[in-house]
Every structure is written in C-alpha cells, then in structure tokens.
C-alpha cells in the first residue's frame, strides 16, 4: 500500500514580499499620524493659555470706570491706569499682570489692546459706549481675539 499523497501548502517568495510591503506601508502611515499628533499636541494648551490671558486682560480693563476718576488722562505706567481709555494702544511683549510685571512662563505671548467708541449697541449713544478688543498672539500661529463693551449706564 502506498501512503496517500498529502497536498502541501506553502508561501511563495512573491507572496511573502507583497505582504511585507503591505505591512510596511500600513506601519509608516500609522507612524506618520502619530508623528503629526505629537508635533501638534501643545497647540490646544497654547490656545487655552491665550484665551485665559485675553480674558484676564479684558476683565481687568472692563472693571475700570468709563471716565477718569482723578481727571488726569493718559497715565504712563500700567499700575496707574485708572480708566478704560488708558489701555488704548497697550502692547505687551509677553503677558503681564495688572501692575505691568511679566508673568513667568508666558513670555512668548504678545498682547495688543484697542479701546474705541462703539456704535454697535443700538440703544446706547456712541459717546456712552466703548468697545475693548484684546488680541493675544503666539509664535505658533495662534491669534486669539476677545472683545467686550462697557457703557456709561
């Protein structure tokens, strides 16, 4: 009796090479996505910090009176700012606190403030409303703008 022939199965060299190429393409695609994700992982933190800086500046400014309480307009030092229009044209290289002192770790942010009369509020005369725009920029192409209004009423 002769033993029954059993069919043998094997992988050819061509099939092996094709499968290696497919796995290599898939691995490089996954590594490319991981690399891009890692490179941009700090962007949300930078945007969040820019928003927090803008909110801080805007709150500081909007808490000041609309008219100058001491009658002296255009104080030179930020610690002496006592009304809204003193902040017009403020430009800080690096985020600063309300006394004008630099805040640690936030030196890469630039802040620009504009205060101008506003006609955007329909029931309020232009002379009685000011619009405050705070723009915070960062070297990573982050540009965050925040606006607020202050009225005499």
pLDDT digits (tens, 9 = 90+) for 134-145: 999 998 888 999
pTM: 0.70
What is the spatial distance between Cα 20 and Cα 11, in angstroms, rounded to a whole number? 13
Q: Are 102 and 94 in contact (CB under 8 A)?
A: yes
| Backbone φ, ψ for residue 146 (5° rounding) | -140, 135
3-state secondary structure of 71: coil
Higher-confidence residue: 144 or 76? 144
> Please, is 57 exposed, middle or buried when counting C-beta atoms within 10 Å of its C-beta (0-12, 13-18, 19+)?
buried
Kindly report each contact of residues 147-150 with a partner whose C-beta sits within 8 Å and lies 24 or more positions away, as own/partner: 147/58, 148/58, 148/61, 148/62, 149/118, 149/120, 149/121, 150/62, 150/66, 150/84
pLDDT category of residue 7 using cuts at 50, 70 and 90: low
Within the chain, residue ranges assigned H as helices are: 13-39, 43-62
User: What value does the mean pLDDT take over residues 1-10?
Assistant: 64
On the question of pLDDT at 81 being above 70, the answer is yes
Dihedral (C-alpha) 105, 62, 118, 152: value to the nearest 10 degrees? -170
Q: Are 90 and 112 in contact (CB under 8 A)?
A: yes
Instruction: Quote the pLDDT of residue 5.
Output: 62
Q: Are 133 and 41 in contact (CB under 8 A)?
A: no
User: What value does the mean pLDDT take over residues 1-15?
Assistant: 71
| Lookup: tokens for 43 | 């962007």
pLDDT category of residue 28 using cuts at 50, 70 and 90: very high
Q: Average pLDDT of the chain?
A: 86
């Amino acid at each position: 009796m002769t033993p029954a022939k059993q069919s043998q199965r094997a992988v050819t060299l061509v099939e092996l090479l094709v499968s290696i190429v497919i796995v290599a393409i898939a691995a490089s695609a996954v590594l490319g996505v991981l690399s891009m994700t890692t490179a941009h992982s700090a962007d949300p933190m930078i945007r969040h910090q820019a928003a927090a800086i803008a909110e801080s500046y805007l709150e500081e400014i909007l808490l000041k009176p609309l008219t100058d309480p001491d009658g002296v307009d255009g104080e030179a030092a930020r610690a002496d700012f006592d009304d809204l229009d003193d902040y017009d044209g403020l430009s800080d290289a690096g985020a600063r606190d309300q006394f004008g002192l630099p805040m640690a770790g936030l030196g890469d942010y630039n802040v620009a403030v504009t205060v101008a009369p506003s006609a955007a509020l329909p029931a309020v005369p232009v002379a009685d409303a000011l619009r405050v725009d705070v723009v915070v920029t960062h070297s990573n192409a982050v540009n965050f703008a925040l606006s607020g209004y202050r009225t005499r009423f």
